[in-house]
Amino acid sequence: MRELTESLVDKAVQLGASYAEVRVQEVESSSITVENEELRTFGRSGLAGVGVRVMVDQAVGLTASTVLNPTHLGTQVEMAVKAAKAVRTMGEPVTFAAAKPMQRAVRSPAIKSPECLSDAEKIALVMDANKAAKLPGVKNRMTTLGWFLDRRLFTSSEGAAVSIETGMTGLAHTSVASSRGRMESVGDSRSQCSGFEFILDTDWGRFTEEISQRSLQAAAARAPTPGAYEVVADADLIGIILHEAFGHAAEADLVTTQESVLAGRRGEPVASPLVSIVDAGVVAGGYYLPFDDEGVAKRRQVIVEDGVLQRFLHTRETAHKMGVPPSGNARAQDFGRKPIVRQTNLFMERGDQSLDELVEAVDDGLYVCGKGAVGGEVDVALGSFTFRAGPSYTIKKGELGEMVRGVSISGRILDTLHRVAAVGKDVAIRTSVFGGCGKNGQRVRVGYGGPPVRIESLLVGGGG
C-alpha cells in the first residue's frame, strides 16, 4: 500500500502540485439488531478507498475513489490537479501552517478481539439484552450491537506517514412504551474504543431494562410548561450542551470567516470563571484520535481557562490564517472528504460540588438528563443552539420532583456559559459507535462530557 500511496504523491508532484497527500482507509463494520426478540439484521460491511488532496498554485483540489486500481487512481490524481487549477483564482490563496511530518503507527487499546465470541454467541448476547427489556406496556424493544475496525494511513509529499487503527464497540437500545394512549420512545447507548472486553464486562440486561422502565415513566409523564428555567444538566447531558453550545463556535474555520460568535474574542471572558474546557485526542471514555487526518498530533489543549477563551481548534489551513500552530483538529468523515476543523474529545473540567449540592440550590427548575437524549444542533453565527434531552425531572425547593418528557432546550452560546453558576465534581466522558456529529455534510465520531452543572437560565420547550 505504501508503494501505491507514494506513487500517487509522486504523480501529483510531477503534475505540478506543490503539496500532495494520500489518505487510504479500510473499515470493517458489523452490527446485529434484535427487535422484540427476533433477529432483525446481522450485517457486515467493508469499505475501502483512497483520497488525494493536492495544492496547485495555492489552490486545493481533491479526489477520491473506492476503485483501487492504480491506473484509475492515477487518472483521479489528474482530476484533483485539474480541480485545483479550476478554483485557483477563487478565494484567498491557501497556505498550510508548518507541521512536523510524523512517522508513526498507533492503535487503540484492545484486549479481546470481536472473535472471542462466535457469531451465534453474539446474537445470543443481543437477544438476552433485548429480552431483559420486556416489561408490560413496552410495545417495542430494539437492541443493536455494533463494532468496527477503522484503519487509516496518511502519507504526504512532506514525508509524513501516520497509520491509525481504531477499534470500537457498543450497544444501543430503544424502548417504545405506551400509557393511556400516548407513546414515548427512549433510547440510549454505551460505546468504547476498546476490544470486546467492554461488551463482556457490562451488564446489558440491566442497561436495557432501565431504558424500558424510563420509557414507561416517560409515556405517563407530562411535558414541562415551556419557559425559561434554572436547570441542573447531568453529566450525560453537559457534554452535548458543551459540544453544541461552545465547541462548534470554537472551530477556527467558522472564526476565520467571521461566522462564529467567538470570532475576535480570544483572551476575553466567554464563560463563567467556573468553566474550563479542554479538547484532547486521547481521553478515557472518549474517541481515539492521537493524530488528525492531516497527520498532526492531537494533544490535550485548554480552550477555555477559568472562563477566558485561550485558543481555537485548527486545521493547518486555519492555523496559518490565524498565525498559530495547527492543533490536530483536521478531521474527515472518510477518505473521500476534505479534512475540516472538528472537535475531538471536548469536555468541561471538574468543579467541586456534588449533584445533591447542585440540586439543593434550585428553588424552581429542572434536572435535565442525558439518558435518552436525541442530540442537538447549533447556528454558530446567531449563537443559538438547541437539543432534545431525555426524560428529566422537575426541581422544587431543592428537591427532585416528577419526571417530565419531551424536554427541548435552547439557548445562546455566550449567555449560557456565562450563566453556569456551579460545576460538579464527577466527570463522565462518552463516545458512540452508532453515530457522530454532522458538519458540512460530514459525520465524525467525537467524545464529549463533563461534570453536572447548574445553569441559571435556559429556554425549555416541550409543549404538546
Partner 1 sequence: MSLDVLALCEYGVTVGEERGASEVEAYGVLDEARRMEFTSTSTSATAAVATGLGIRVALGKRLGFYATSHLTKAEVRTAVERALAIAKVAQPDPAWESFPTTYGKASVEGVFDTTIPRLAVETMAEKARELIEGPPSFDRRTRITRGAITAGVGRVAISNSYGCALERQSTTASASVTVKAEAGGRTGESSEAEQRRGWTAIDFAALYHTASARAIRMMDAKPIESGETTIVWRNEVFASIVGIMLGGTLTADAIQKQRSPWIGKRGEQIAAEHLSVRDDGVKTAGLGTSAFDDEGWPQQDTPLIHHGVLVNYLYDHYTARQEDRASTGNAGRSYRSIPTPSATNLTLNPGDATLEELLGDTKRGLYIHEVIGDWLSNPISGTLNATVTNADLIEAGQLSHAVKGVMVSADFFAIIKDEATLLADDVENAGSTYAPSVKTPKAMVIGR
CB of 267 to partner 1, least distance (A): 20
What CA–CA distance (Å, rounded) separates 118 from 131?
A: 20
x-marked contacts with partner 1 along 197-226 as a string, rule CB under 8 A: --------------------------x--x
User: What is the x/- site pattern for partner 1, positions 139-158, by CB under 8 A?
Assistant: xx-x----------------
92 binds partner 1 (CB under 8 A): yes
Residue 56 C-alpha cell reads as 496547485
Instruction: Report in angstroms how near the CB of residue 287 gets to partner 1 at its nearest.
Output: 21
**Binding flags for partner 1, 386-425, as an x/- string (CB under 8 A):** xxx----------------xx-x-x-x-------------
CA distance 204 to 141: 14
CB of 391 to partner 1, least distance (A): 11
The only residue of 195, 247, 328, 376 in contact with partner 1, by rule CB under 8 A? 376
What interhelical angle do 70-86 and 2-14 show, nearest 10? 40
Kindly tell me which residue out of 4, 123, 135, 220 binds partner 1, with binding defined by CB under 8 A.
123
Single out the residue of 183, 200, 203, 268 in contact with partner 1 (rule: CB under 8 A).
Answer: 183
Binding status of residue 70 toward partner 1 by CB under 8 A? no
Beta bridge partners of 151: 26, 165
Kindly state the smallest distance separating residue 348's Cβ from partner 1, in Å: 22
Answer yes or no whether residue 71 interacts with partner 1 by CB under 8 A: no
The residue within the footprint of partner 1, chosen from 16, 70, 109, 227 (CB under 8 A), is: 227
The residue (of 213 and 410) whose beta carbon lies closer to partner 1 is: 410
By CB under 8 A, residue 464 contacts partner 1? yes
Using CB under 8 A, which residues numbered 253 to 312 contact partner 1? 253, 256-259
* Interface with partner 1, residue 441, by CB under 8 A: yes
The amino acid occupying position 406 is G
Query: Per rule CB under 8 A, is residue 90 in the interface with partner 1?
Result: yes
Q: State which residue, 63 or 327, has the beta carbon closest to partner 1.
A: 63
Q: Cβ 403 to partner 1, closest distance in Å?
A: 14
Of 161 and 322, nearer to partner 1 (C-beta) is 322
Tell me: does residue 4 bind partner 1 (CB under 8 A): no
Check residue 113 for interaction with partner 1 (CB under 8 A): no
Which range in 77-85, 275-283, 357-365, 447-455 contacts partner 1 by CB under 8 A?
77-85
Sites for partner 1 among residues 37-66 (CB under 8 A): 38-39, 41-49, 59-66
According to CB under 8 A, which residues from 309 to 348 bind partner 1? 317, 321, 336-338
When binding is defined by CB under 8 A, the residue of 94, 271, 289, 366 that contacts partner 1 is: 94
Nearest alpha-carbon partner for 449 in 233, 298, 249? 233
Q: According to the binding rule CB under 8 A, does residue 440 interact with partner 1?
A: yes
Kindly state the cell numbers that stand for 13. 508532484
Among 10, 67, 98, 273, binds partner 1 (CB under 8 A): 67
Shortest Å distance, C-beta 186 to partner 1:
10
